Amino acid sequence: MASISNLKDQAKVWEQAERWQDMALCMKEMVEIVHAEHEIGKLASEERYMLSVAYKNMVGSRRSALRIIASVEQKEADGSETRQAAKWLREKVETEMKEMCDEVLELLDKFLIPSVHNADSEVFYQKMKGDYLRYLAEITDGKEKEDIVKKAEESYKKAHETAVAYMPPVNPIRLEVALNFSLFHYEIRNNPTEACRLAQEAFDDALAELDTMQEDAYKDSTLIMELLQGNATRWASEN
């Protein structure tokens, strides 16, 4: 069995090589080893970030592929060979994406969320859980989707409430929670009013405390603030 240090080094190399599946395997094994050594899945902030990067890129490439495939399906005539091929590919990619999301959610529920020991890890893992449930909601329907959406909202709400209670408004993780929670309301709940409120509130709160922002977080925080403001402006114009 590889050591945590070796797995971390390997994961960093895989990240540079953009071998996201190999990176994810390293991080998954790291979580399981840490749990087996009775630390119950406690990862340092850098390790949490690496776990997130690996799976985000794996799932992100599938989400992008599905958008392209959906566009092809819509353009092609019913019964055409191209449309049939696109349907087959969509189902294949959806299956891959579901397996990846389920894997992340199992790590979160079994190891990581039970191990939370401070506000940072609570917010990070609950936001991550909300994200992967949101991705699942994009490729499901009916009662299954309703259940997934409910769980996603619960996780985002926990992350948002904890972030507001314990993190400054300019904290990049708190801002990212607001960004993703507002996207959830807009894209999944079809509620642009609530999405706009969340995004605008997060932007305004951060802007009011911009002078307190730590230098190492400035780039990340201001980038997310720009996204929040852009989304809020666009969504407000749709109402």
DSSP string, 166-212: HS-TT-HHHHHHHHHHHHIIIIIS--HHHHHHHHHHHHHHHHHTGGG
Residue 39 is predicted with a pLDDT of: 52
Residue 41 is predicted with a pLDDT of: 52
How far, in Å, are 15, 51, 180 from residue 54 at the CA level?
A: 7, 5, 18
**Helix/strand/coil for 116:** coil
Integer Cα distance of 157 and 160 in angstroms = 5
Residue 214 is predicted with a pLDDT of: 76
CB 112 within 8 A of CB 41: yes
Residue 87 is predicted with a pLDDT of: 92
Integer Cα distance of 6 and 14 in angstroms = 12
How far, in Å, are 45, 60, 155, 176, 196 from residue 192 at the CA level?
A: 33, 23, 20, 18, 6
Choose among 16, 82, 8, 75: nearest CA to 47: 8
Residue 216 is predicted with a pLDDT of: 78
Instruction: Flag whether the pTM goes above 0.85.
Output: yes
Burial class (CB in 10 A: 0-12, 13-18, 19+), 19: middle
Per-10-residue mean pLDDT, the chain, length 239: 88 98 97 77 88 98 96 84 92 98 97 92 98 98 97 98 97 97 98 97 94 81 96 90
Residue 38 is predicted with a pLDDT of: 62
Query: Which amino acid does the sequence have at 26?
Result: C
Residue 211 is predicted with a pLDDT of: 82
Residue 86 is predicted with a pLDDT of: 93
How far, in Å, are 85, 89, 94, 205 from residue 76 at the CA level?
A: 11, 14, 20, 47
Integer Cα distance of 210 and 159 in angstroms = 22
Integer Cα distance of 174 and 212 in angstroms = 15
Sign of the Cα torsion 100, 152, 227, 164 reads: negative
At 47, give phi and psi (nearest 5°): -70, -40
Integer Cα distance of 33 and 39 in angstroms = 9
